[in-house]
Every structure is written in structure tokens, then in C-alpha cells.
Amino acid sequence: MIRSRSLRLILAAALTLTIICPAFAGHGEVESPKKGILLVAFGTSVPEARVSLENIGEKVAKAFPDTEIRWAYSAAIIRNKIKRTENMNVPSPAAALAQMGDDGFTHVAVQSLHTIPGQEFSDLTKTAKAFDGIPKSISHISIGTPLLTSPHDLAAMAKVLPATVPADRKKNEAVIFMGHGTHDPGNIYYPGLATYLQEEDSNIYVGTVEGYPALDNIIPKLKAKGIKKVWLMPLMSVAGDHARNDMAGPEDDSWKSILTKEGFNVKTVLKGTGEYDTVVAQWVAHLKEAFKALDSM
């Protein structure tokens, strides 16, 4: 009687242990996945230019209505400046990922809102890889590529960008899209895009502030064609400091001043590529790929 009673107790205890043990063993790590999105822009210190980023945020929210979306700026110089001048706190990609880990996100798709895969994107990739799978934080991170990162992207943008040019531009007037440019090998996407664009419209050019092609490479071509009027448009997500000063500013060395001095009639468009829904759709397509990749991780 006593024997069988203690046997029953032992059995009951063993059963309880079998039920409890897996829960202890897992330490809660078998939680259901929590997916999130981190949008990473270079950032801008020009408040009016943020309409581009707001538009991108709206389109991403529309594409991912059930997923939390967070932001980071990859440029430390911008983050520090807006903290000082506007008391605005936008985290770095590292700070944003650390916070998402603490907030219980298990899977995060990081979308680069840069234009080409240059230094900013390679830094972002290293940061995301460093945070991928660190203990008690995000277990899986995937990365969405910049606007122009493949031949397919170049072909797609060569169809999309000409349609963003104002309707009153005539075919015999030139358009120059002004990109940032870099010494990084990723600069190749600017002349790459230019080649695709020229097949669509031979009077559309791509120039850069800090890389190749420069404005000096384009001016002789405009003169050889007898072009009289030039439209300048940013090939940057926002119409920030570079667009307002280097492209359209009143200083002698702005593209507007240089072209005017060279005898061209110059029109400027102060809109970032993030303001055009057709361009934003390209970033959203890259994000959809990155988000889908989380399922196979």
C-alpha cells in the first residue's frame, strides 16, 4: 500500500518533470517570432527635405500594415547636427538594432535607403551582420539593397526616372540628375544608370558631386549638341544640403551658377527621389525581398 503510494508519487513527480523540463531548458527562447523593419537613410539636416523620408515611411507602412517600422540615420554628422539644432534624436543603425533586440524583435529586415551600394551601405552591412544572432537579441537580420544595386535596378530606373521630369521640359532640353558620387567602387552605378537612361532619352545625363561623371564631363557634350536649356534634378533620396547648395544654390560653384555662366538657361527641381512614388516602389520591392528572406532563416 505504502509502496504503491510512493511509486505513484514518484511517477507523478517524474511526469511533472517531463512537462516542466522543456520549458526550463528553453529559457523562453522558443517564443513566437516578432518581425520588424528598420529603414536606414543617410539622413538630412534640412527639415523641409524630410518630406521624402515621410513619403517613403508612408509607402512602407502601406506595404507592411502589420509590421512595426523604425528609423535610423547612417550619417553621424547629421545625427549630431539635428540633435544640436533641433533637439531631434534619430538613432544610428547600431543603436536602433540594439533597441529592437531589447524590445523583443527576433527577425528584422533592414532596408537601405541609399542610392548606390557605397561606403554607407557597406558600413550598414557590417553593422547588421555584427548584430545578427547575438545572444538574447535579434536572431535573424536580412538586408534590403540600395536603389541601384543590380542591372535590373538600372533598367527599371531608366524607365521610371524620365517620367519624373516636369512635363514642360521639351525633348531638345537636357536633364542632369545629380547624384552624390563616391570614391568607392559602388560609384560605377552612376555611369551605369547614365548608359541605360541615354537609351531612353539621349538628352538625359547623370552627374555626381564627388565622383564620376562630374559636371565637367557633361558640359562639352551639351555644347556639342547645341543644348540651350538644362534641367537639374537630384538623384538623392532627399533634396537636402547638396541639392539646395551644390546643385541649385546662389554660390559661384553651384551647378546652376556654373551652367548659367556657360550660357545655359537653367531650371532646378528641388525634389528628392523619395518624393516620387514610382521610385519609392523600387525600394519597397527590395524590402519585400529582404522581408521574405526572413522566412527562410
**Which are the catalytic amino acids?**
180
Quick check: helix, strand or coil at residue 30? Answer: coil
44-58: buried (b, 16+ CB within 10 Å) or exposed (e) per residue? Answer: bbbeebbebbebbbe
d(CA 71, CA 233): 26
Half-sphere exposure at residue 226, Cβ-oriented, CA atoms within 13 angstroms = 2
d(CA 163, CA 175): 12
Q: If we measure between CA atoms, which residue out of 161, 143, 169, 162 comes closest to residue 281?
A: 161
> Between the CA of residue 203 and those of 33, 37, 81, 85, 227, what are the distances in Å?
50, 39, 38, 41, 9
Quick check: helix, strand or coil at residue 183? Answer: coil
Is the Cβ–Cβ distance between 107 and 33 less than 8 Å? yes
Residues 6+ apart with CB under 8 A from 53: 41, 44, 71, 113, 237, 238, 274
